[in-house]
Every structure is written in C-alpha cells, then in structure tokens.
Amino acid sequence: MNLDEIKELVRLGRPPDRFGDRRLARVYSVADLARLARRRLPAGVLGYLEGGGEGEVTLRRNLAAFEEIELQPRVLRDVSAIDTATTVLGTPLAHPFALAPIGSARLFHHEGELASARAAARARVAFTLSSSGTYSIERVASESDGPLWYQLYVWKDRGLCADLVERARSAGYRALVVTVDTTLRSKRERELRAGITLPTPALSLASVLDGALHPGWSWHFLTSEAIRFANLAPLGSPPAAGMNAMARSFEGLTTWDDLAWIRDAWDGPLAVKGILSPEDAVLAADIGADAVVVSNHGGRQLDHVPAAVAALPSVVEAVGARVEVLVDGGIRRGSDVLVALALGARACLLGRAHVYGLAAAGEAGVSAAVEILADELRIAMGLCGVSRVADVDASYVADRRGTAAGAGAQPPPEPT
Ligand SMILES: Cc1cc2nc3c(=O)[nH]c(=O)nc-3n(C[C@H](O)[C@H](O)[C@H](O)COP(=O)(O)O)c2cc1C
C-alpha cells in the first residue's frame, strides 16, 4: 500500500464535512460547538462570553431549570409532516427562534455580526443587532436579505436614541428590541479577573500571552481593523465616543417614561427585553409594546433572580393574551425550545448557543448552531406527537412545578 492509498483510507474514514466546513465535521450539538469555541478563544474573551453576574447563581439556574421540566409526549399521532415555521413580531420565521443581540461580536470572530446575520438570513430566522454591535447598522443590512431586528439600550439621551431608531428604520430593520435590564452594569468577576476591556481588549502581559496561546484568533485580531462600537460613533470620534455612550447607558437614570417615548418614536413592532415580573410585563403592554422578552440577560446582570424559563409562565398568564411573550436564557437544545413553547413562549432568542458557533467557525458555525437546534426541535416535536408550532401547548409539559426548579438543584455545568 503506497502513501496515497493510505491517505485515501484516512480520508474515507473521516466523517463527511458536515455544515460545509471541516472544523465542524464532528459537531452534533451546541455543546460540541462550545468545546470548539473554548479551544479557539483566549481566556479573557471566553470569560466575557461565558461569565455571569456576581456568584453566577442565575447563570447556573438558567441551565438547571430546563433539566427539571419534563415533556409529556403523546404517541401514535401522524407526525409525518412537521412544520416549525411561525410568525413573530410580524416577521415570518422558519423556526421559532431569533438570534439574540450580542455586544462586541467581533471579539468572537472577525466577521462578527455580519457572519451571524448572514447565517440567520439563510436559515430564515431573525437576527438582532446589538446597540453595542461592532459592525454598522447599515453594513449588516447590506449583507443580509433576512429579517433584521435592532436592539436598543434605553439612553436618557433622546437624541442618541432617536438617531439609532431612525437609522434602523431607514436600513429596513423590522422590529425594535429595547433592553431594560441594564440600568446599571453588573459586577462580572470573570471579566474583572481577566482584565478584559470592551470592545477592544487592552494589551497587557497576560493578554499577550493569552493571545500567543490562541494564534488563530490573534492573527485575525491583529490583522483586522480595530474593534469599536460601530453605531455609537456619531457621538464623537471612536473609540472614546462609543465607550462614553455605553457608560452613559448604565447611569441608572432611565424610567418607564423613556420607554413610552421610544414607543412613540418607533412605529414598528416593539419588544421589551429583560422582563421577569408579571407586573412589569403589564406595564410594558400598557405602554403599547407588542412583545416582552422574559430574560435575565443570560445570567449576566442581577444575580439570584429566577431562571428565565421559571419566570415565563406567570408572565404568560399576565399578558399572554395581549402581547407576544418571548424568552431567552439557557437554551442549548431543540427540546429546550419545545419546553419554552409549551410554557407559552411564542419563540426563543438564542444567545450563547449561536455565539459558540460564531467563535468555532464564523458563519458556518452559526449556521450549524441554528440547523442543529432546528433539527432537534423537529425531532422533539415529532416524538411529542405535535406537528405544528401553533399546536404546542401546556399539555406537553408534565411538571409545571418545574418552573420553580433550579433553586435547590445541583446546577449542571455548561454542557461539555
Ligand atoms: C457575550 C454576550 C453579549 C451580550 N450582549 C448583549 C447586548 O448587547 N444587548 C442585549 O440586550 N443583550 C445582550 N446579551 C444577552 C443576550 O441577548 C441574551 O439575553 C442571553 O445571551 C440569553 O442567554 P443564553 O446566552 O444563555 O442563551 C449578551 C449576552 C452575551 C453572552
């Protein structure tokens, strides 16, 4: 046997290039993407991605809560044609999920938001561009022919809000997602320990060594243009303007009056992200929001609050008949999405699940994350005996007490 024949045998023995990228050949789950991301990212950036507020109790709860909730399958029903399509905030989607807003996305991959928006468009799910995005509102729109939503922080500075809202409107973004759980910036100890600065990591002996251990990431970091908050530059010259604008969003000054003003300034569909109490959900609905996103910011803001999926049923009960209820936090499996739908969510936002894909392999990685979750959802629906998203209801969850789960449960680690 010669060398070429041996090479051919090795090639045949390899799994086919799943998702069109060799790096993803052995990826079958979001956990597999997370493993690749952990290898590729420097420790500081990984701390920014995976960390949470203070003791990370809520971060762990978000994952643990899903483990405690049981699906209740029905059998011997015709599930030969399963359809995961739905409409959210007036946007038809192929699956009941959208990519969550993620700040400083170029830290994870040099194509950052462009890669995620393109992958979302291909999968026909929505992409949400963060206020602290690292590509401009207009550039993302020019690279995506899919549904785009824009996430706005509530600044007291109405000129800044008006400018961003106007840019999102003229660039064709279909919905505004206003994040309300960041009135102060939380204490994130993984970031503090790693000394990470956003959006551009500061150079220090530790960060240079960290970079040297991750040459693939460092090469792109050093050869791409400097990372900045691309949409906050109108406030002055970057990067200082962007940093100041972000700092000013954490001054604790904003109130429901500011949300009411934003409601008036934006005439399209509006979602309020970061709701955990039914009372606040009612206030948001009263102000004229079209949706609330039950979210604890992925466990990154106030610690010790409930898992998002645990807070979901009471919010659905309070406002489910008036507005759409979305949820995010801890979603890593298609069956998690099914649980959320069964508890009354219209759709889920995917946070770290898609960022693991972005960090692992850019656009192909985000596509892989979405495809895996969509496929898992399809299988879970079929095995539960339900063919359409609109037919998923509370009868498919066995233990609604699971909504209080996680509090005493031994938290699982982030899937490995
Ligand atoms: C690295 C990172 C950056 C984030 N940036 C933003 C942001 O700019 N705006 C926002 O509303 N939420 C932001 N979030 C929160 C997500 O939109 C989402 O609520 C959260 O990730 C959901 O939890 P999960 O990651 O467990 O899915 C960020 C989350 C992560 C992990």
pLDDT of residue 402: 45
Q: Which residue has the tokens 């899903």?
A: 66
Q: Cα angle vertex 195, ends 161, 106, to 5°?
A: 50
Backbone angles phi, psi at 102, to 5 degrees: -130, 120
Ligand 1 pocket test: which of 106, 127, 297 has the largest number of ligand atoms within 8 Å of its C-beta? 297
Per-domain boundaries in the chain: 30-404
What lines the ligand 1 site, CB under 6 Å?
48-49, 62, 100-103, 130, 132, 151, 179, 273, 295, 297-298, 300, 328-331, 349, 351-353, 355
Query: Nearest residue CA, atom 19 of ligand 1?
Result: 297
Confidence tier at 403 by pLDDT (50, 70, 90): very low
* CB of 249 closer than 8 Å to CB of 259: no
What 3-state DSSP class applies to 327?
strand
Given a cut of 70, whether residue 72 has pLDDT beyond it is yes
Using the mean position of ligand 1's atoms as its centre, give its distance from the Cα of residue 179 in Å: 10
Given a cut of 60, whether residue 405 has pLDDT beyond it is no
Which atom of ligand 1 is nearest to 332's Cα? 27
What is d(CA 69, CA 340) in angstroms, rounded to the nearest whole number?
10
Active-site residue, 95 included? no
| CATH class as words, domain 30-404 | alpha beta
pLDDT of residue 250: 86
Return the HEC string of 232-253. CHHHCCCCHHHHHHHHHHCCCC
Buried b or exposed e, range 169-202, using 16+ CB within 10 angstroms: bebebbbbbbbbbbbeebebebbeebebbbbbbe
Question: Using CB atoms within 10 A of its CB, is residue 159 exposed (0-12), middle (13-18) or buried (19+)?
Answer: exposed
pLDDT per residue as tens digits for the range 200-225: 888 888 888 889 999 999 999 899 98
Which atom of ligand 1 is nearest to 48's Cα? 1
Ligand 1 pocket test: which of 59, 180, 300 has the largest number of ligand atoms within 8 Å of its C-beta? 300
Using the mean position of ligand 1's atoms as its centre, give its distance from the Cα of residue 49 in Å: 9
> Which of the following is catalytic: 95, 109, 110, 297?
297
Which atom of ligand 1 is nearest to 273's Cα? 11
Q: Please state the rounded mean pLDDT for residues 12-30.
A: 86
pLDDT per residue as tens digits for the range 311-363: 999 999 999 999 999 999 999 999 999 999 999 999 999 999 999 999 999 99
What 3-state DSSP class applies to 80?
coil
The answer to which of 11-25, 69-83, 281-295, 326-340 has the lowest mean pLDDT is 11-25
Q: Report the relative pairing of strands 97-99 and 347-350 from DSSP bridges.
A: parallel
pLDDT of residue 195: 86
Which atom of ligand 1 is nearest to 298's Cα? 23
Q: Report the relative pairing of strands 91-93 and 97-99 from DSSP bridges.
A: unpaired
pTM: 0.93
Given a cut of 70, whether residue 7 has pLDDT beyond it is no
